[in-house]
Chains A and B, each alone.
Chain A
Amino acid sequence: MMLKVQNLEVLYQRSILGVADISIDVPKGHIVAIIGANGAGKSTTLRAISGFIGLDDARVSNGSILFDGRRIENRFPHQIAHLGIALVPERDKVFPNLTVQENLEIVASRTGHAERRHLEASIYDSFPRLAALKAKLAGLLSGGERQMLAIGSAIMCSPTLLLIDELSLGLAPVIVDDIAERLMRIRDELRLTILLVEQSTAIALRMADYAYVFENGRVVLSGSTDELRNDSSIQDAYLGTSGGEQRNYRHVRNRAQGPAK
């Protein structure tokens, strides 16, 4: 198992529960998705894996995170990046006052100069749009271009495990399809393992091999994406293909009671 999260509990400000008891496995070479509503603890889980800084005032208070057999919980983000885990964050994913090229340049990678050049070439190859925008400030990019740059700069870290917090959020479907396709290509080329957090269940089930469903900081369901696609409760709650008023309302209420994000 490449990544093994066991009974993870995260506390914010020493008292607010972010996630309560999360266990997930990410096997090498696979794409694993985490789905669930707002505030279900998806982002918190990814943040716990990629490391907190002092400003977050958060820590893993229980459970463990194993990466290639090594415990990595509560380490600094740069140490985790050097071990080979890179995150594409949900918000503030690029440095707005740096150019596209500089956004890749600042990455403190764990590899040598030759490998850096190779990665940079792969990124510009997979996302030719970025190559055309090299000298443009990242703050002036469109949402889709920003997402490409965020993926690119995460890949610049030379990761073996890529964490993606919301691939599709705020983007037009046609752009999401394009980015997803390019991501899959670069993932095959670099043999990346991916842990993907998605609000769009349809996209998550399409891209991933295996998925976990989070609710209120806990895993409520998991299975291969083929199984989940046919699961009636998933269809009710997240795909909107069946189910009546009553059930939907209860879900809305559950979400409102969920822990803070």
Chain B
Amino acid sequence: MQIVLNILVLGSIYSLISCGYVIIYKVSRVLNLAHGELMMVGAYLLLTTASAGWLGSPLAAIGLALVLSLTVGILVYVLLMRRMTGESVLAAVLTTIALGILIRGAVVLLWSAQHHYPATKLHIANPSIELFQNAKLSLISLILIGVTVATYAALFAFMRFGRWGLRMRATGQNALLAAQRGVNLHAVYALAWGISTFTGAVAGMLIALDSGLDSTIVMIGLKAFPAALVGGLDSLAGAIIGSIIISASEVILIQHFNPLLSDAVPFLILIAMLVIRPWGLFGTREELDRV
């Protein structure tokens, strides 16, 4: 039972992160390889707001960090990625790699490489809860699963029924036609970057609250990328399935074989997938030649 819970928690973490890859790819065909780093920024922003005494309650600190994360995402588009429109997709992807490296360096400079515990700063207790016999889960992990479910429900509803969600899908299919129909492309792209960074930051903050924070958190963001790709980069449902596949294989390997394999196997699955079915389980096949 414990193993199922572990898969569920890790799968939730990957799902919450990988939807960010999917949203930006779906709307603009750009693979945001700085997503893991932006997730890390979200977690460190919580560390900063948690240290600010004047905020009072932990909820205010989390709320402010979330608003800041959304702003960071929008600013990344407005100040950086906007200039890449009209350039090749490859140039845009390389820009995100450069941004990621920059963020990694900046985070160590700003917040030091030390291990931090935002949960203690916020006085949030994280007790173990026994859900079943011999199967335990931390409170934050439980919240994480709930938040993931709620996030995906909101995203599905938004993309299906929200006017701006429809516009995001339309822009992903044919940006020119969307613009000709009066849709401001820059607004759509900025929104996609904002939502993507926001959901990533939520994941980063919950991981930091659960198990502390240092710059190795980037590795988790990096492992969510195979999850998004296995599922199909333009499919939200695929991101969930891909996340569960990656997390299941990882947890089972740690449990029954060698824990050292856990960092390598997601990428082995990624390579296998790229060879067999490069557009992913639920992805659109024709989209691939645009990458």
Residues of A near any B CB (own CB < 8 A): 50-51, 53-57, 76-78, 81-82, 86-87, 89, 92-98, 102, 105-110, 153-154, 156-157
Distance between A81 CB and nearest chain B CB, rounded to angstroms: 4
User: Are A108 and B184 within 8 A (Cβ)?
Assistant: yes
Known: A95-B174, A98-B170, A106-B170. A77 touches B180 (CB 8 A): yes
Can you spell out 16 A-B residue pairs with CB atoms less than 8 angstroms apart? A51-B179, A53-B176, A55-B175, A78-B180, A78-B185, A81-B179, A81-B180, A87-B180, A89-B176, A89-B177, A94-B177, A95-B173, A107-B181, A153-B181, A156-B181, A157-B182
- The verdict on B48 contacting chain A, using a C-beta distance below 8 Å, is no
Across the interface, do B181 and A106 meet the contact criterion of CB distance under 8 Å? Answer: yes
- Stretch in contact with the other chain, from B161-169, B237-245, B264-272: B161-169
Instruction: Report Cα–Cα, A153/B179, bound state, in Å.
Output: 12
Chain A residues touching B, majority SS: loop
Binding site for A on B (CB under 8 A): 85-87, 163, 166-167, 169-170, 173-185
Residues of chain A lying within 8 A (CB to CB) of residue B175: 53, 55
Q: Which residues of A contact B163 (CB under 8 A)?
A: 105-106
- Give complex CA distance A81, B180 in Å: 6
Query: B174 and A81: CB pair below 8 A?
Result: no
Q: Does A78 lie within 8 Å of B182, measured CB to CB?
A: yes
Q: Closest chain B residue to A57 by CB distance?
A: B86
The minimal Cβ–Cβ distance linking A36 to chain B, given in whole angstroms, is 22
8 A-B pairs besides A76-B179, A77-B176, A77-B179 with CB distance below 8 A are A50-B180, A53-B85, A81-B179, A81-B180, A86-B181, A95-B177, A98-B166, A108-B181
Residues of B within 8 A of A55 (CB): 85-86, 175-176
* Whole-angstrom distance between the Cβ of B188 and the nearest chain A Cβ: 10
Residues of A within 8 A of B174 (CB): 92, 95
B187 to chain A, nearest CB (A): 9
**Chain B neighbourhood of A57, CB < 8 A:** 86
- Chain B residues with Cβ below 8 Å from A82 are 182
A77, B184: Cα distance in complex, Å: 8
Instruction: Determine which of B176, B182, B185 lies in contact with A107 in the assembled complex, contact meaning CB atoms within 8 Å.
Output: B182
Whole-angstrom distance from the CB of A95 to the nearest CB of chain B? 5
Contact of B181 among A56, A81, A96 (CB under 8 A): A81
B114 to chain A, nearest CB (A): 43
> A210 vs B170: C-alpha distance in the bound complex, in angstroms?
35
Query: Within 8 Å CB of B173, what residues of A?
Result: 95-98
Contact A95 B180 (CB under 8 A): no
Do residues A78 and B179 form an inter-chain contact, with CB atoms below 8 A? yes
- Asked if B185 contacts A102 (CB within 8 A), the reply is no
A54-B86, A95-B170, A95-B173 as given contacts; A89 in contact with B184, CB under 8 Å: no
User: Assuming A54-B86, A108-B184, is B179 touching A97 (CB within 8 A)?
Assistant: no
User: Whole-angstrom distance between the alpha carbons of A110 and B182 in the complex?
Assistant: 8
Of A78, A93, A102, most buried by chain B (CB within 10 Å of CB) is A78
CA distance A174 to B212 in the complex (A): 70
Name the CB-closest residue of A to B183.
A108
